[in-house]
């Protein structure tokens, strides 16, 4: 039995952050019902990435909405709205990511819904919270990265802003919503009352950067500077970074420079063995290491550093990673079947319960596929 079996979740959300939270609850055993508009459904159905579609919808939609049922309702029509309200009475969790004020206008705001179902945990995702001048801005991952300093952490010092190259804030915010919902469900087990759980992409972005922002607040409040060479962390000392070698790249994390110089046989690096300069002179140190490693192979470097317990790794791309025994040992890929009958490989839930991985073969629902089951009244 999965931990959340017996719980019912209504997923009104679109795109990624809200649906990601609903997906994780589904992975943990909850019955998740996706509620969409009849015309077009979730806008993510048409958000095609890598030019990949499945059963007429984007592959992205299928991956973020797997393991869910689906109904359609026009919430502007009183008859449809009443059917949804009846469904809400049976639910344990409701998730939405409409902009502030939209659910109030529809008549499905937290106060109204909690009167219908006092035990309901009501999860809301926004871009920037519910107050302030940015509330009406589009809450999109790249834009929130841009407004919260995140793009000035990656890349080398001579580059402009470098975005994180996937929807890191959507996924993180979805995880935060899941945490809040689970905490509220635990409290409900004691009090019998539901809760309003609110998250926003901006707060999640700031929380992800807690280490850097705390250091900024405790300093002269100047922007932390990226390394000029092999930047991997704006605060780390040399040698922290990834370096090109003859046949690929090697990442080296924390290591005493004197020990690294001795192991590699790099006399030029030995001149920087004083630990007190590992941060202040990190660019010079990393430049020496970069030039030295450029003549080596991946195996030559790892065969020297790994036995000495220096934290290092080859930098793998997807094809190489998926050839590795370490990847296969995790059993990280599952197969789902789309509503059209096509089998698709995707990642599984990263959580294991009692030693067992959490998987499900059920794909994303066709638009309105389960209306007869849930909205027949």
Calculate what percentage of the chain has a pLDDT beyond 90. Answer: 99
What does the pLDDT read at residue 78?
A: 97
pTM of the model: 0.96
Q: What is the pLDDT of residues 131-162, one digit of tens each?
A: 999 999 999 999 999 999 999 999 999 999 99
168 and 296 part of one domain = no
- Domain hosting 259: range is 241-315
- Name the active-site residue from 11, 42, 92, 170: 170
Answer yes or no: 283 catalytic: no
89 and 143 part of one domain = yes
Q: What's the mean per-residue pLDDT of the chain?
A: 97
What is the C-alpha separation between 270 and 313, in angstroms, rounded? Answer: 22
| The domain boundary residue, chosen from 268, 295, 315 | 315
197 and 248 part of one domain = no
Is the C-alpha dihedral spanning 177, 178, 179, 181 positive or negative?
positive
Residue 215 forms part of a structural domain = no
Phi-psi region of 256 (alpha: psi -120 to 50; beta: other; left: phi over 0): beta
What is the C-alpha separation between 67 and 60, in angstroms, rounded? Answer: 14
Q: What is the pLDDT of residues 247-299, one digit of tens each?
A: 999 999 999 999 999 999 999 999 999 999 999 999 999 999 999 999 999 99
């Amino acid at each position: 039995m999965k931990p959340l079996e017996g719980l019912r979740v209504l997923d009104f959300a679109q795109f990624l952050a809200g649906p990601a939270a609903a997906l994780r609850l589904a992975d943990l055993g909850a019955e998740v019902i996706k509620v969409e508009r009849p015309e077009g459904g979730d806008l993510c159905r048409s958000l095609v990435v890598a030019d990949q579609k499945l059963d007429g919808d984007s592959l992205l939609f299928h991956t973020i909405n797997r393991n869910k049922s689906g109904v359609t309702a026009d919430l502007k029509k009183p008859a449809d709205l009443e059917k949804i309200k009846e469904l809400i009475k049976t639910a344990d969790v409701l998730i939405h990511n409409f902009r502030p004020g939209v659910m109030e206008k529809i008549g499905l705001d937290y106060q109204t819904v909690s009167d219908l179902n006092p035990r309901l945990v009501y999860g809301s995702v926004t871009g920037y919270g519910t107050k302030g001048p940015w509330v009406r801005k589009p809450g999109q991952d790249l834009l929130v990265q841009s407004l919260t300093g995140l793009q000035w952490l990656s890349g080398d010092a001579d580059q402009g802003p470098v975005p994180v190259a996937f929807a890191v804030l959507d996924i993180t915010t979805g995880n935060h919503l899941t945490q809040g919902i689970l905490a509220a469900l635990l409290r409900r087990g004691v009090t019998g009352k539901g809760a309003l759980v609110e998250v926003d992409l901006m707060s999640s972005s700031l929380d992800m950067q807690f280490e850097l922002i705390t250091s900024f607040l405790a300093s002269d409040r100047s922007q932390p500077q990226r390394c000029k060479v092999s930047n991997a962390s704006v605060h780390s000392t040399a040698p922290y970074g990834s370096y090109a070698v003859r046949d690929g790249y090697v990442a080296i994390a924390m290591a005493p420079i004197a020990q690294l110089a001795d192991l590699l046989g790099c006399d030029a690096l030995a001149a920087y063995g004083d630990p007190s300069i590992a941060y202040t002179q990190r660019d010079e140190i990393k430049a020496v290491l970069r030039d030295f490693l450029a003549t080596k192979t991946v195996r030559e470097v790892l065969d020297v550093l790994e036995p000495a317990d220096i934290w290092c790794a080859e930098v793998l791309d997807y094809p190489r990673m998926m050839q590795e025994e370490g990847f296969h040992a995790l059993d990280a890929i599952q197969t789902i079947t789309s509503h059209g009958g096509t089998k698709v490989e995707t990642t599984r839930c990263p959580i294991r319960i009692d030693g067992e991985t959490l998987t499900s073969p059920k794909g994303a629902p066709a638009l309105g596929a389960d209306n007869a089951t849930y909205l027949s009244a």
